[in-house]
Amino acid sequence: MRKPFIAGNWKMNNTVGESVKLARELLDAGSFKNKVLIAPPFTSLSEVSKIVKGTELLLGAQNMASVESGAHTGEISVLMLKDLDVNAVILGHSERRHIYGESNEIINTKVKLALHHGLDVILCVGETLEERESGNAEAVVKKQLVEGLKDVSPADIAKVVVAYEPVWAIGTGKTASPEDAQAIHLFIRNEVKAIYGEKEASELIIQYGGSVKPGNVVTLMAQEDIDGALVGGAALKAETFVPIMDFNK
Ligand code: PGA
């Protein structure tokens, strides 16, 4: 039985004060029957970390550098995230891939570095509209998955969550139909089975991301291979995130 896992990706939103307020609201209102994580911007991690400490609300970062330390102006190290008791890091988000040019190779380096330091990883994969319309969605997702997980050990795969986020559904209000999302989720599970085996694949949490809202979460999560959600816009307000994080599977 895979425990549903809902993650809120706040992206480049919320000052420290706004982040603290939202984290408190979630703690007050949530039932935490599902696994729940929030990923505030780097500048808010320190204060939010103090609030969620000892609670069931997990703390995530939205990205990290591909090296541990040194002359990398503007980057944030895995060691700095560990220092703030961050539990997990989102890697390979489509905005990192498409706006900041992150390759599968760079993402793989980050995945291995995060796992090496004991952070869990949410590895994002997903095709663009053009790739979907040209019939290449599965090939693109497979490449992102295989190259993103290269040399990740069978022991470490248990610490990886895959988030399937079709790029055309992110922040657009367009959601993949539950059936289309399920088809890719099953494809991802089968690819993981081919690399790691039956047990690892059956235990893998695969989140769906892309315009998840209180009104569509239940039908999406009802699909057999959809185990949770990575939520952007609707994660920015307690009134929209609480119903998502408390959905009933
Ligand atoms: P969205 O973003 O929910 O606003 O579509 C999802 C994401 O990018 O993780």
**Where along the chain do its domains lie?**
5-245
Helix axes 137-148, 178-196, angle to 10 degrees: 40
Atom of ligand 1 nearest to the CA of 90: 9
Whole-angstrom Cα distance, residue 22 to residue 24? 5
CA distances from 109 to 66, 68, 91, 167 (A): 6, 11, 10, 22
165 is catalytic: yes
Q: pLDDT truncated to tens, each residue of the chain (249 aa)?
A: 899 999 999 999 999 999 999 999 999 999 999 999 999 999 999 999 999 999 999 999 999 999 999 999 999 999 999 999 999 999 999 999 999 999 999 999 999 999 999 999 999 999 999 999 999 999 999 999 999 999 999 999 999 999 999 999 988 888 889 999 999 999 999 999 999 999 999 999 999 999 999 999 999 999 999 999 999 999 999 999 999 999 987
Q: What is the reported pTM?
A: 0.97
Alpha carbon 249 to its chain's center: 19
For the chain, give the number of residues: 249
CATH of domain 5-245: 3.20.20.70
Whole-angstrom Cα distance, residue 78 to residue 81? 5
Q: What is the pLDDT of residue 240?
A: 98
Question: Could you tell which of 9, 38, 240 is best to mutate to test the pocket of ligand 1, judged by most ligand atoms within 8 Å of the CB?
Answer: 9
Retrieve residue 125's tokens: 């994969």
Annotated catalytic residue, options 127, 165, 185, 191: 165
Across the chain, which distance is largest between two alpha carbons, in Å? 48
CB 65 within 8 A of CB 102: no
